[in-house]
């Protein structure tokens, strides 16, 4: 500001803040007991200090509470910070105070010092916890069933072919040329074991002797080579490219009531839903009216609830502040509207 009006020089103004309401205003953390303006810090405090330095006025900071104020056209009454300004008990209000048409009827605003819109703050999408049967994800349920049936079919094929093929019958006593009984290596248990060893790429001490059993073994080995290679490649992909999942992705998920949600009881965000003609926002307003327990007294209270699976509607700039400091929170979707924050003052 190069060319400034010095008409405000040496005047003293009472400036309302909302404390605590980071990043706009909060109490200074100090082991000493601070009083007056020195006990406050934040964006709003820095802004009024800069203006005071440029324009030459003095100021007294005061906590105006959580009620920013509204104007009731029916009763022609105001509340909160707006009422304090109109009654002359305060001169300015600097916080996340949204410029609205209703408020502009009773107070003046500076040009917006910040542009924003209503958005959703929710917990950061999380990766699903690895389930016990995650190892089965690379193949569909149908493939697993077919693999199991193939395993049983091949095992019984070894058992039957072993019984039918003379080459698979052995003399258990080599010293006896003509034993009364011969043995077959492909019993039910051994057939299952041989098939399992091939499937797990471990092999077996059993050696098929007949052409029929060797043919089945060769086909099964080639099949298991393809299946194991495919499984290994897909398993690595499933474990490394797992996308985080989120319960909500847009305002439509709130309309569908997938999670509990709310906003600050009194303020421009709540007023936006009360006066909107959009069917989605009308439904959301009805939900909040029916569930007042989801409405909060302050934005800080709303943000603290988010960790419990709650979605909070607030200004996008405040959301960006909190998400930069709390990694478990994130902004969901785009802003619902466009508006700005301004400094409120009495009408001239």
CATH assignment at residue 79: 3.40.190.10
In a domain, 286, yes or no: yes
State mean pLDDT over 75-90. Answer: 91
In a domain, 36, yes or no: yes
CA-CA distance, 291 to 302, in Å (whole number)?
Answer: 14
Q: pLDDT, tens digit, for every residue of 141-193?
A: 899 899 999 999 999 998 888 888 888 777 666 666 666 677 777 888 888 88
Within this chain, do residues 227 and 314 fall inside the same structural domain, yes or no?
no
Looking at the structure of the chain, the number of domains it has is: 3
Domain that holds residue 150: 134-240
CA-CA distance, 344 to 348, in Å (whole number)?
Answer: 12
Residue 193 sits in a domain whose CATH number is 1.10.287.70
Q: From the annotation, which residues make up the binding site? A: 98, 103, 268-269, 315
pLDDT of 1 reads 46
Within this chain, do residues 228 and 252 fall inside the same structural domain, yes or no?
no
DSSP 201: T
Q: Which helix (H) or strand (E) holds 272?
A: helix 268-275
Structure confidence at residue 126 as a pLDDT band (50, 70, 90)? low
Within this chain, do residues 219 and 294 fall inside the same structural domain, yes or no?
no
CB 295 within 8 A of CB 289: no
Global pTM value: 0.56
In a domain, 347, yes or no: no
Q: From the annotation, which residues make up the binding site for L-glutamate? A: 98, 103, 268-269, 315
Within this chain, do residues 253 and 332 fall inside the same structural domain, yes or no?
yes
């Amino acid at each position: 500001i190069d060319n400034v009006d010095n008409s405000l020089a040496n005047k003293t103004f009472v400036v309302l803040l909302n404390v605590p309401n980071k990043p706009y205003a909060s109490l200074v953390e100090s082991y000493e007991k601070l009083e007056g303006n020195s006990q406050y810090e934040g964006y709003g405090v820095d802004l009024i200090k800069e203006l005071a330095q440029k324009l030459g006025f003095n100021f007294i900071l005061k906590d105006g509470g959580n009620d920013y104020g509204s104007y009731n056209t029916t009763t022609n009454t105001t509340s909160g910070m707006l009422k304090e300004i109109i009654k002359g008990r305060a001169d300015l209000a600097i916080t996340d105070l949204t410029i609205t048409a209703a408020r502009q009827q009773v107070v003046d605003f500076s040009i917006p010092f910040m542009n924003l819109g209503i958005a959703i703050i929710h917990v950061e999408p999380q990766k699903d916890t690895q389930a016990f049967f995650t190892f089965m994800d690379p193949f569909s349920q149908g493939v697993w069933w077919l693999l199991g049936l193939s395993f049983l079919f091949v095992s019984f094929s070894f058992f039957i072919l072993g019984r039918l093929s003379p080459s698979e019958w052995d003399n258990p006593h080599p010293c006896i040329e003509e034993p009364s009984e011969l043995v077959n290596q492909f019993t039910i248990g051994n057939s299952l074991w041989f098939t399992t060893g091939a499937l797990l790429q471990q092999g077996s001490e059993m050696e098929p002797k007949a052409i029929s059993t060797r043919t089945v073994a060769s086909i099964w080995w080639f099949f298991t080579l393809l299946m194991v290679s495919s499984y290994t490649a897909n398993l690595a992909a499933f474990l490394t490219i797992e996308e985080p999942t989120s319960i909500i992705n847009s305002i439509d998920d709130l309309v569908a009531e997938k999670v509990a949600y709310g906003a600050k009881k009194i303020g421009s965000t709540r007023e936006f839903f009360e006066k909107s003609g959009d069917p989605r926002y009308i439904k959301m307003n009805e939900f909040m009216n029916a569930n007042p327990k989801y409405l909060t007294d302050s934005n800080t209270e709303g943000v603290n609830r988010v960790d419990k699976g709650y979605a909070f509607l607030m200004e996008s700039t405040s959301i960006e502040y909190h998400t930069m400091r709390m990694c478990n929170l994130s902004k969901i979707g785009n802003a619902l509207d466009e508006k700005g924050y301004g400094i409120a003052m009495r009408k001239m």
